[in-house]
Structure 1
Amino acid sequence: PDQGETLLGLQTKYPGSRLSEEALDFRPYGEGFIDGYIKKELFHDVFAGDLPKATAELMWAGQRPADTRTLGEPSGAPAWKTVPSWYLVGRDDQVLPPAAQRFMARRAGAHTFEADTSHVAMIAQPAATAALVKRAAR
């Protein structure tokens, strides 16, 4: 995100995200705070569609909650304006649409690579992820 932008704004800038209110279980905690979890019956298809169902079920059971405030919190100054960037677009990402990823990568001037993968490229496509990290390290 650029300064002042929100994750929700970028997630909904382009069509394709399946991470909607209907996909989440909301659980209040503390004084007016709410965590969101991806529902079990949607977790595989929305978050990790290219992983075996058994792996996705384990990931669902261990998922960390997302405080719903984070989606609407404006970003601070972006590092990509002063630091070289690399980006792996997940063409099958159902959380952050590939068009939004391409927009962010292009705007950041990132060295961009694409893979046929879900939101969890580092697990589903570890070789592609490692190759990108190696290129960035060089």
Structure 2
Amino acid sequence: TAIADAAFGLFAERGFDRVTVAEVARAAGVAVNTVFNYFPAKEDLLFDRQADVEQRLAQVVHSAPPEQSAVGAVRADLMAALERGEPTLGLNPAAADFWRVVADSPALRARAREISENTEAA
């Protein structure tokens, strides 16, 4: 979390494409190899919750009781997530900065499309 937080601060300030992994490592107080131990690609520094996001709706639908519709299960999960301020919904105050960083980078826009496609497939 400390590495991802340091990365986001740098990305928000200077843009994803203008920040190196070495700079992120320095800001987080770790070695470059440590960054890559936790984040296989630079894009993963921003999309550090990618796996959770991709599987969320599928898990909600699959774990719903048989008497609950898929729509009902998704709605109930969404309402609970809104109540607890789930950051992956993109509705917290930092979301605008997050999506600005994504919009400004072709690599991050591509990763966001990939995440969306993986979510749909799940």
TM-score grouping bracket, smaller chain normalisation: under 0.3
- Comparing both structures, which one devotes a greater share of its residues to strand? 1
- Comparing both structures, which one devotes a greater share of its residues to helix? 2
Task: Calculate the TM-score normalised by the size of structure 1.
Answer: 0.20
Task: Calculate the TM-score normalised by the size of structure 2.
Answer: 0.22
